[in-house]
Amino acid sequence: MNGDLMRPAWTLPATPLLCLVLAVSTPVLAASREEVALAPSASPVRVDVEVDPIAYALGGYSVHAGITWRRLRLDLGAFALDIPHWLDGNEGFKTSFDGYGVKLQYFLLGEQHGGFMGVDMGVNRLLVRRDGTELAARPNQLSVGLNAGWRFDVVAGFYVTPWVGLSCDLAARDVTLGDRIYTRNTWTVFPTVHLGYRFR
């Protein structure tokens, strides 16, 4: 029997056409599958900026940059302020600090609005000066803590965030200047408010 008659018909002139169809359709189908796979998780990373007006009122500064994704927010901040006597509890000393910190926060009710809770860590330089003298010390602080607050959306990306933090100074040691001792607190409760803008 003739071998050509036993050969399948689709292997003759149709083969180049089939190869062309497969070559064109394969990347198109792959791209469509990729788009379908990416669509449900389309939640872009966004950025916000915040300032703390209380820090500026106390002779310092506080500026923060936030990187957000869905309900998570990573905060990178730099800050400084003069600590008032009524908050410090050490009479006869002037105290200030500056430092850097990082926070990781999770919004409980929705994406970047409403209530949130978080953890934080900071590295600060404390400046302790004794009144009426040239005596001063500059110990370091390493703190870890918890924070919680509420973000109120205002308009066009602007928002207000009152929050409170509880921090533990892992390097707390009393400071002796002359015959006076400055007592450093291991635990600190810090309420404040941030004004922010979220880029779209």
> In whole angstroms, what is the distance from residue 21 CA to residue 151 CA?
55
| Whether residue 37 sits in one domain with residue 64 | no
| Whether residue 37 sits in one domain with residue 101 | no
| Whether residue 146 sits in one domain with residue 60 | yes
| Whether residue 24 sits in one domain with residue 55 | no
At 108, list the tokens: 């409980």
SS3 99: strand
Q: What are phi and psi of 51, to 5 degrees?
A: -130, 155
Q: Is the pLDDT of residue 189 over 70?
A: yes
Domain range enclosing 15: 3-41
> In whole angstroms, what is the distance from residue 93 CA to residue 14 CA?
93
| Whether residue 143 sits in one domain with residue 187 | yes
| Whether residue 93 sits in one domain with residue 26 | no
> In whole angstroms, what is the distance from residue 73 CA to residue 84 CA?
30
Percent of the chain beyond pLDDT 90?
72
| Whether residue 147 sits in one domain with residue 122 | yes
Specify the pLDDT at position 87.
81
| Whether residue 180 sits in one domain with residue 91 | yes
| Whether residue 77 sits in one domain with residue 24 | no
Q: What are phi and psi of 86, to 5 degrees?
A: -65, -25
Confidence at 88, pLDDT banded by 50, 70, 90: confident
Q: 12-51: per-residue pLDDT in tens?
A: 444 444 444 445 455 544 544 544 444 444 568 999 999 9
| Whether residue 194 sits in one domain with residue 138 | yes
- Domains of the chain: total: 2
